[in-house]
Structure 1
Amino acid sequence: MKDIETREDIERLVNEFYKKVIPDRLIGHFFTRVVHFSWEEHIPIMISFWESVLLGGQAYKGNPMVKHIELDALYPLDPLHFDRWLYLWQETVRQLFAGDKANEAVNRAHSIAQIIKTKIAAHKGKQS
């Protein structure tokens, strides 16, 4: 099995991941009922995000923290939601790739999830 090396590899990873996320019973509703999910709009953004994280790409222009705080305001994000997202991400990475970048994709997802959870909790604390 090969490692994550190119934008095309990230495209494959992100597409396969969202094929699992959308129908998922625990987190799929975020994409089907909570927000309007457009595959054509969201997937290229996620590909650019992960390309920037893993390969140093420069195409991503966004703020995932703000997006998740906004999402949490619409429907509270629970630690179980993050755990499920991480499980599906890790499962997808491990099914498709092996190597240092694949390991980094899993580790960075865990770090990102922890940061987002912490920032959401801090944001809620400021609103109290």
Structure 2
Amino acid sequence: MTDIQNLEDIKQMVNSFYGKVQQDDFIGPIFNEKIQNRWPDHLEKMYGFWQTVLLDVRAYSGSPFPPHATLPIQKEHFERWMEIFTQNIDEQFAGPIADEAKWRAGKMAEMFNYKIEYFRNANQKPLT
């Protein structure tokens, strides 16, 4: 098994991950309801995001949090997302960049969950 090295690896990682997400009984319906027929656009955006984060290629700009801010999700949804993400990486890649992907995904899930909870508890709308 090799590490994540280029855009083709990023595409493989993203496509296989979101393929599993779409089929998942727990988080799949939330993603499918939100994204609907815009999966190709979402995947393109994710290629750019992970290319920027993992390969230091400036392929993404924007703020990843706002689209997630109002989703009907709880900590358990983030845990399931991470479970699928980690398993997906471990099935295909091994090395420091693969480890970095899992670490960054975990930090992102933690931060998104925290921010969503904060806005819910404060009964405020997040800035978009």
Residues 35, 4 of structure 1: alpha-carbon distance in 2 compared, 3 angstrom cutoff:
closer
1:28-107 alignment to 2 at 5 Å?
28-70=28-70, 72=71, 76-107=72-103
Cα deviation, residue 97, structure 1: 0.3
User: Secondary structure at 1:64's aligned position in 2?
Assistant: coil
Runs of at least 4 residues off by over 3 Å: none
Counterpart-to-counterpart distance in 2, 1:30 and 1:67: 13
Cα deviation, residue 111, structure 1: 0.5
Counterpart-to-counterpart distance in 1, 2:16 and 2:35: 20
Paired residues in the alignment total: 124
Cα deviation, residue 31, structure 1: 2.3
Provide the TM-score with structure 1 as the length reference. Answer: 0.90
Counterpart-to-counterpart distance in 2, 1:100 and 1:32: 31
CA root-mean-square deviation? 1.3
Gaps of 5+ in 2: none
1:22 paired residue number: 22
Provide the TM-score with structure 2 as the length reference. Answer: 0.90
Superposed CA deviations along residues 25-60 of structure 1, whole A, max 9, x for unmatched, are 000001222442422111010111111111112121
Identity over the aligned pairs, expressed in percent? Answer: 36
Residue type matched to 1:94 in 2? D
1:100-119 alignment to 2 at 5 Å?
100-119=96-115
Cα deviation, residue 78, structure 1: 1.1
Residue type matched to 1:98 in 2? A
